[in-house]
A and B are shown apart, each in its own frame.
Chain A
């Protein structure tokens, strides 16, 4: 068998992505803005304060620390643990807030203390408490919010009060920030961002659709370099729009010309939730078997909620369209943005749309799955065993790996993981391409 089945080449847009990421990091390091701890995905109003405020989650900060400096991440987690935080809590949280207690960042610079805490509602219990350490450290202004959920079919009647609740909470936060910090909210910018979100979701969907092709023009490892841009790492909307447009163009070109992410692609596997950020090497290792990761519901989050339609195509889940009326007030804009009570992708896919994981496997033509079991992350591990059983039932070979959490290297047996990968691949009749 030939090792190289498809033509491959590096992405040209890679340098632009690095520049954007560096720009985001610099804006935090230089304290050009007020800093808020909160959920960036649930704070789509924040570009309205673009000139003054930046929302920074403890992720990707925590994941970045785990990936770049194991020793600093360990020191940070220890600083957090000795102050009472559980040792079995999310590594992102303990890395980021441990650094807060150390008073410095990974590069030795001062820690970017938060000026306020905007809601980080309950994607998982750990998310809900994610703002707690900076709130408990100093009496910064803080707000709350909810991500309602209920199992079963969506019920528009039931959603009404939940939507009102979400609208109220967001309007209150904007008004309070203006009042407390004396900064002006740019409503037009906010409306532009709502429109940008729709575009980004369409770009994301196109990328996801192209990745269903064999060979995939992009692997999950590639995707991880881009998927947070405009979302977790919010930047100037025009710049982000240009970037994603170019990105889609390049991936489309690669797909049209059968340029593969992995030249030896012959086996496609999927994942669930974040990978071990400190040990992404396993992706390369699997490539030596001709195995390519086509991502997970988590890594394709930029596409919104996906499902396989009756004709077999991958598309967005049908959602309630925003009311077709002009945006005249800030409230109109918030209502344009919040059209559903139960919009959270993670919770919906895990509790309410249990078939979403098998849809994903079918849509991306997955042959197998690596389902990481992160014992220190509620949201990172909840329902994972059930999902693995569903995938097994549809014929996918599932490999589990265990560890503390994607941002905590403590309990990950890296060599053991590679051994299990060997056994998993060989049990499916695959040998390393190099060995042939």
Chain B
């Protein structure tokens, strides 16, 4: 286990310790469309609220039809797992996320809160103006809350730290492009998730170390290379099941994976506009990819560039954006003869049931694979 994986596993302890060390405030956020740079520039630590299933006596009273992830987010607040969070913030994106945010405030009205409207129609000439205006408001609200409104220098520093983080994570992803990738899918996903719950400056130092160590690792045994598409995930449980079957997830099209690390903030004089543009132009989630369809091309490029042999589509049950996008994804994969397996995720991943479907996919792929010739099928 690398150091970042360890922080992910003990993320609440990390956050409490960070607070003690720095005296800073912690802001929980729900969605990868949240412009973390602005909060970070104000000296606040943005921490992604990650779902984790545990005993639940509350959410059924307040929620119905939600995906399990958002139920678990509410439940964790109710249990006190996020007792270190001073505030929470939501953005215009998945409505279940918004519901978790809204309902958490009913349970915990003492939390500071804010909502950033990030246009769902990202391509209009006016979308960037709305985004900028929302970021400006957010900056002012943060100033009122913390007593210090972040200025240009603070924003520049935050942009540098966040861009560096994305660049390092992309380097890690680059290592997975070729046969014998030195890093497993689960380790890569854990690392990306860890970066979402910790101080990015600290994460960057650990990432530098990890990259140096990973690049000197001997290549892993070649195996079936898979791509993971679907709803957001909050751990690497699925990647671990794939690995237990002798395959590896080498690339993903997930909001919390490539959706988080692709595209930097391109610096410009107007810092807020620069940050806003990053979020309007980043690889879009199924929800915001609703007019100009960029997901099909992107998915295909990932398959080609990362040499994926097949695709797993893991849709969270009640995830409407992904449920509405699968027609397009299936069409794409069928047109290009890419083997795929679709399944619905729920609260937990039962090993036998999940492995059975993935094993079938691997068995479809393997017989035709020349680079694995000679290996037992």
Residues of A within 8 A of B (CB): 80, 83-86, 88-90, 93, 119, 121-122, 124-126, 128-129, 131-133, 135-136, 142-146, 148-152, 158, 160-162, 164-165, 168-169, 172, 351, 373-379, 381-386, 389
Q: Does B214 contact A (CB under 8 A)?
A: no
Q: Total interface residues on B, using CB and 8 Å?
A: 54
> Once the chains bind, are A378 and B96 in contact (CB under 8 Å)?
yes
B119 contact set on A, CB distance < 8 A: 146, 148, 165
Residues of B within 8 A of A (CB): 60-65, 92, 94-96, 98-99, 102-103, 106, 113, 115, 117, 119-121, 123-127, 129-130, 132-134, 137, 286-287, 290-291, 293, 315, 317-331, 342
> Once the chains bind, are B324 and A158 in contact (CB under 8 Å)?
no
Given known A84-B329, A121-B120, A151-B115, contact A126–B320 (CB-CB < 8 A): yes
> Once the chains bind, are B117 and A86 in contact (CB under 8 Å)?
no
> Once the chains bind, are A129 and B320 in contact (CB under 8 Å)?
yes
B290 contact set on A, CB distance < 8 A: 128-129, 131-132, 144
Given the complex of chains A and B, what is the CA–CA distance between A164 and B318 in angstroms? 34
B65 contact set on A, CB distance < 8 A: 373-378, 381-382
> Once the chains bind, are A84 and B126 in contact (CB under 8 Å)?
no
Q: Which of A122, A124, A136, A168 contacts B293 (CB 8 A)?
A: A136
Given the complex of chains A and B, what is the CA–CA distance between A124 and B330 in angstroms? 24
Q: Which of B61, B291, B326 contacts A86 (CB 8 A)?
A: B326
> Once the chains bind, are A125 and B64 in contact (CB under 8 Å)?
no
Given the complex of chains A and B, what is the CA–CA distance between A145 and B127 in angstroms? 9
A351 contact set on B, CB distance < 8 A: 98, 102
> Once the chains bind, are A144 and B121 in contact (CB under 8 Å)?
yes
Given known A83-B330, A126-B320, A381-B64, contact A158–B137 (CB-CB < 8 A): yes
6 residue pairs, one from A and one from B, having the closest CB atoms: A86-B323, A144-B121, A84-B326, A129-B324, A144-B291, A84-B330
Specify the chain B residue showing the minimal Cβ separation from A400.
Answer: B64
> Once the chains bind, are B124 and A125 in contact (CB under 8 Å)?
no
Given the complex of chains A and B, what is the CA–CA distance between A378 and B100 in angstroms? 13
Q: Which of A121, A145, A149, A374 contacts B117 (CB 8 A)?
A: A149
> Once the chains bind, are B126 and A168 in contact (CB under 8 Å)?
yes
> Once the chains bind, are B331 and A385 in contact (CB under 8 Å)?
no
B92 contact set on A, CB distance < 8 A: 122, 148-149
Given known A128-B287, A386-B103, contact A85–B323 (CB-CB < 8 A): yes
B323 contact set on A, CB distance < 8 A: 85-86, 88-89
Smallest CB separation, B115 vs chain A (Å): 5
Smallest CB separation, A423 vs chain B (Å): 20
Given known A129-B287, A165-B130, A169-B126, contact A119–B99 (CB-CB < 8 A): no
B124 contact set on A, CB distance < 8 A: 144, 165, 168-169, 172
> Once the chains bind, are A150 and B115 in contact (CB under 8 Å)?
yes
Smallest CB separation, A54 vs chain B (Å): 21
Given the complex of chains A and B, what is the CA–CA distance between A14 and B208 in angstroms? 73
Specify the chain B residue showing the minimal Cβ separation from A380.
Answer: B65
Given the complex of chains A and B, what is the CA–CA distance between A377 and B318 in angstroms? 9
